[in-house]
Amino acid sequence: MGTRGSRTLLLAAAAAATVAVGSADAVRISAIRVLAPPKGILTKPADGSAFTHRISFTDSNNPARSQLSATIGWGDGNVTAGTIGGPSGGVYTVSGTHTWVDEGPENVVVTIVDSSTSPATTAQSWTTYTVAEGDLALVAVPASIAEGQETTEVLLQWTDGGGTESDNPYTAFVDWSDGTEEIATVTGGPGGYAVSVPGSSHFYGDEGKPTAIVTVNESGVQQSPLFVAKVPITVTEGDIVSNPTLNVSAATEGAAVPAGTTVATFTDSNVDNVASDFAATVKWGDGTSSAGAIVYSFGTISVVTSTDHTYADEGEYSASVALREDNRTTPLATATGQIAVSEADSLRAQPKTFNPVEGAAFTGTAATFTDSFAGAKPTDFTATIDWGDGSANNVQLGGGNGTFSAKGTHTYAEEGAYEVAVTIVDDAPGSAFATAISSAIVADAPLRGTGKALAERVGVSFTAPVASFTDADPNGTRTDYSATIAWGDGASSAGTVKANATGGFDVIGTHKYAKAGAFNPKLTIQDAGGSSASPTATVTVT
- What's the topology of domain 17-131? Immunoglobulin-like (2.60.40)
* pLDDT tier, 479 (very low <50, low <70, confident <90, very high otherwise): very high
Residue 513: closest CA among 455, 453, 465, 468: 455
Q: Which amino acid is at 355?
A: N
Give yes or no for residue 23 having a pLDDT over 50.
no
Strands 235-236 and 145-146: parallel
Quickly state the pLDDT bin for 270 (edges 50, 70, 90): confident
Please tell me which of 226-230, 363-367, 412-416, 424-428 the model is most confident about, judged by mean pLDDT: 363-367
Classify residue 167 by its DSSP letter.
S
Q: Which candidate, 119, 368, 344, places its Cα nearest to that of 253?
A: 344
What is the band of 290 on the pLDDT scale with cuts at 50, 70, 90? very high
Cβ atoms of 75 and 104 within 8 Å: the answer is: no
Which residues of the chain does CATH 2.60.40.10 include? 17-131, 241-341, 347-442, 447-541
Banded pLDDT at 37 (limits 50, 70, 90): confident
Average pLDDT over residues 480-491: 96
Q: What is the DSSP string of 455-488?
A: EE-TT--EEEEEEEEEES-TT--GGGEEEEEE-S
pLDDT grade, residue 330 (50/70/90)? confident
User: What DSSP line would sit under 427-439, residue for residue?
Assistant: PTT---EEEEEEE
Q: How confident is the model at residue 26 (pLDDT cuts 50, 70, 90)?
A: very low
Instruction: Read off the pLDDT of each residue in 405-431 and give the average, rounded to a whole number.
Output: 93
CB count in 10 Å sphere of residue 206: 21
Look at the chain and count its residues.
542
Identify which has the larger pLDDT, 17 or 487.
Answer: 487
Radius of gyration of the chain, Cα coordinates, nearest whole angstrom: 58
* 169/521: higher pLDDT: 521
Q: Which has more confidence, 327 or 257?
A: 257
Residue 303 β-bridge partners: 264, 294
pLDDT digits (tens, 9 = 90+) for 119-132: 888 888 888 888 77
**Of 285, 240, 236, 241, nearest to 263 (Cα)?**
285
What's the rounded Cα separation, in Å, for the pair 365 and 398? 10
What are the DSSP calls for 77-122, one per residue?
S-EEEPEEEEEETTEEEEEEEEE-SS-EEEEEEEEEEETTSSSPEE
Of the candidate CATH numbers 3.30.360.10, 3.30.930.10, 3.40.640.10, 2.60.40.10, the domain formed by 241-341 belongs to 2.60.40.10
Nearest to 197 by CA among 231, 230, 174: 174
pLDDT at residue 27, as a whole number: 34
Dihedral angle computed from the Cα positions of residues 177, 180, 181 and 185, in that order, rounded to the nearest 10 degrees = -90
**458, pLDDT greater than 60:** yes
CATH number attached to the domain at 347-442: 2.60.40.10
Residue type for 130, please?
A: T
Reported as type and span, the H/E element at residue 63 is none
Which residues neighbour 329 within 8 Å (Cβ) at sequence distance 6 or greater? none
pLDDT value of position 105: 85
User: For residue 3, what pLDDT band results from cuts at 50, 70 and 90?
Assistant: very low
For residue 495, the 8-state DSSP code is: E
Q: Does position 46 have pLDDT exceeding 60, yes or no?
A: yes
Which residue type is seen at 154? Answer: V
CATH class in words for 447-541: mainly beta
From the list 247, 254, 246, the residue with the least C-alpha distance to 430 is 254
For residue 499, pLDDT over 70 is answered with yes
Comparing C-alpha atoms, which of 386, 392, 379 is closest to residue 351?
A: 386
CATH architecture of the domain with residue range 136-236: Sandwich (2.60)
Amino acid at residue number 240: I
Mean pLDDT, to the nearest integer, of 233-261? 90
Looking at the predicted structure, is the pLDDT value of residue 140 above 70? no
Q: For residues 146-162, give the mean pLDDT.
A: 70
User: Is the omega angle on the peptide bond into residue 351 within 30 degrees of 0, that is, cis?
Assistant: no
Q: Which residues of 166-188 are buried (b: 16+ CB within 10 A; e: fewer)?
A: eeebbbbbbebbeeeebebbbee
Least confident of 22-36, 304-318, 428-442, 488-502: 22-36
> How many Å apart are CA 377 and CA 314, to the nearest integer?
12
Task: Identify the three-state secondary structure at position 256.
Answer: coil
Four-CA torsion 272, 273, 275, 277, nearest 10 degrees: 160
pLDDT value of position 42: 52
CA distances from 240 to 32, 246, 276, 489 (A): 80, 18, 17, 114
